[in-house]
Amino acid sequence: MSSESDRPSERRGGLFADDLSNFIDGFHGDVILPSDHRYDEARTIWNGMIDKSPAIIARCAGTADVVDAITFAHNHDLRVAVRGGGHNVSGSAICDDGFVIDLSEMNAVFVDADEKRARAQGGATIGDVDRETQLFGLATALGVVSATGIAGLTLNGGVGHLRRKYGLSMDNLAAAEVVTADGTVRTASPTEHPDLFWAIRGGGGNFGVVTSFEYELHDVGPEVNALFVLHPGDEATTALRAFRDYTESASRDGSVLAFSLLVPEMEEFPEEAWGEPAVAFLGCYDGSRTDAEDEFRALRETTTPIADLSGPMRYTELQSMLDEDYPDGLRYYWKATYVQDLSDDIVELVERYGYDSPSSLSTVDIWHLGGAISDVAPDETAFWHRNSEFMVTFEANWEDPAMDDENVAWVRDGITELRGMAGTTGAYGNFPGFGEDPSQTMFGGNYDRLAEIKAKYDPDNLFRLNQNVAPAE
């Protein structure tokens, strides 16, 4: 709890100050104000580019705190940001001169192994969920960096190592507890508020604060078959064409990501290759070791690789393999678009931009989609872009603030060129840049229905610091 001396001045008027004092007194979590010595730490999020100063940070202890926080923010017409894991690259977890509803302390995970269900609070991370579910040899389809919050990941889709077999993270959502803008706690499921359940699966944070997620679980682990191989840059075209050929007949048990990069200075890779261009394949096969070896053989042998770290691996190890590449405080700017076919022109673009990036930490990624993702019709959930075979992502990752403009321009130029090619469409909510694309780019033909549901559950657009859907009039 904040002390009396931490409470704000009456710059907003005596009524505001009195109401804030009453709010703090009744709050069971922790209210952090700008005068608090913890304030700078509390307002810091994963992306080092983001430097915002909210008026109030409310670290919630439970759903009742979330209700009180929404009610206070709504009554005082405050800008609202919602923080789960704080990993959205756009910085939507924080805002200037507004109210941050911080769920990071609400990170408990409960597993019902018999029913193959897990309930995770809205502040939980992928690592939190995997740690509990793997006790029972179970998992759900989440992302690929364990520090990522499940909330933003799931609400915007969620692509991970199990995507072709079990779909997007949101496809594994069985129900959710949502606090809507009027402070009402609602269950969203196929039978309760089904319109809200439809909207939160792909509609982002437009419709309320999700305080818990109930996921379907699958028999996965404790070991899976990992693919991680680096091919030399002078064989990039050969490698990427082999990847294209592989995807034409790939098993649903396998999900593979290809990316162009500069070889990092890590002991796992030969020193003579450090800083040199390469193409990497990273994937997971959820099946027998023999089948995995057959599945991935062509991807491993298409050239003489720089390094091949493929083989059986604990699922939790695979899920955290990329963590050290995305540390807190690095500067990030990511954008993506969907691609139907990997034409030679797109292969050339991926290779060219990957090697010409201003930062040696950046990559251009090709996610193989399809499989279970495409089993769901585009209008069955709010996630519209179901039928594209690939997603291409430009990830600018760098350290020096003086390089901000150059790295942002690299991403934007690459995405603009890619979107000018045939068979490309849309945007992805978890790689949104700074949210500068129109929301229709992400929601496609589902936008009008989303706007109608927004008008029902958030008519004043309280939750607008996102890829925003304006309420229908």
Q: What does the pLDDT look like over 313-361, one tens digit per residue?
A: 999 999 999 999 999 999 999 999 999 999 999 999 999 999 899 999 9
Q: In whole angstroms, what separates CA 332 from the centre of its chain? A: 13
Task: Describe the crossing of helices 236-247 and 344-355 by its angle, rounded to 10 degrees.
Answer: 130
Q: Does the pLDDT at position 13 exceed 70?
A: no
pLDDT at 5: 39
Q: What is the pLDDT of residues 45-88, one digit of tens each?
A: 999 999 999 999 999 999 999 999 999 999 999 999 999 999 99
- 14-102 — its CATH code? 3.30.43.10
pLDDT at 4 over 60: no
Fold that domain 109-219 belongs to in CATH: 3.30.465
What's the average model confidence in pLDDT over 170-188? 98
pLDDT at 1 over 70: no
Mean pLDDT of 356-373: 97
| Residue 8 pLDDT | 44
Long-range contacts of 289-295 (CB under 8 A, 24+ apart): 289/225, 291/251, 291/253, 292/225, 292/227, 292/254, 293/225, 295/250, 295/251, 295/253, 295/254
Q: What is the pTM of this model?
A: 0.94
- For the segment 444-460, the average pLDDT, to the nearest whole number, is 98
pLDDT at site 16: 81
129, 142 Cβ separation under 8 angstroms: yes
d(CA 220, CA 333): 32
Q: What is the mean pLDDT of residues 397-426?
A: 97
User: Are the C-beta atoms of 82 and 225 separated by less than 8 Å?
Assistant: no
Burial of 206 (0-12, 13-18, 19+ CB in 10 A): buried
Radius of gyration for the chain, computed over Cα atoms and rounded to the nearest angstrom? 22
Burial of 61 (0-12, 13-18, 19+ CB in 10 A): middle
Distances (CA, A) of 240 to 93, 163, 245, 247, 310: 36, 20, 9, 11, 18
**pLDDT tens digit sequence for 204-246:** 999 999 999 999 999 999 999 999 999 999 999 999 999 999 9
CATH of 223-425, one of 3.40.50.1110, 3.40.462.20, 3.40.50.150, 3.40.1360.10: 3.40.462.20
- pLDDT for 14 equals 57
Where are the domains positioned within the chain?
Answer: 14-102, 109-219, 223-425
Q: How far is CA 282 from CA 121, 213, 296, 329, 343, in A?
A: 29, 28, 10, 25, 21
What would the mean pLDDT of 270-275 be, rounded to a whole number? 94
CA angle 192, 196, 197 (to 5 degrees): 70
Rounded CA-CA distance 106/30 in Å is: 12
Average pLDDT (90-117) is: 97
Model confidence band, residue 132 (pLDDT cutoffs 50, 70, 90): very high
Q: Which two tokens stand for residue 92?
A: 């939507």
CA 423 from centroid of its chain's CA atoms: 24
3-state secondary structure the chain: CCCHHHCCCHHHCHHHHHHHHHHHHHCCCEEECCCCCCHHHHCCCCCCCCCCCCCEEEECCCHHHHHHHHHHHHHCCCCEEEECCCCCCCCCCCCCCCEEEECCCCCCEEEECCCCEEEEECCCEHHHHHHHHHHHCEECCCCCCCCCEHHHHHHCCCCCCCHHHHCCHHHHEEEEEEECCCCCEEEECCCCCHHHHHHHCCCCCCCCEEEEEEEECEECCCEEEEEEEEEEHHHHHHHHHHHHHHHCCCCCCEEEEEEEEECCCCCCCCHHHCCCEEEEEEEEECCCHHHHHHHHHHHHHCCCCCEECCEEEEHHHHHHCCHHHCCCCCEEEEEEEEECCCCHHHHHHHHHHHHCCCCCCCEEEEEECCHHHHHCCCCCCCCCCCCCCEEEEEEEEECCHHHHHHHHHHHHHHHHHHHCCCCEECCCCCCECCCCCCHHHHHHHHHHHHHHHHHHHCCCCCCCCCCCCCCCC
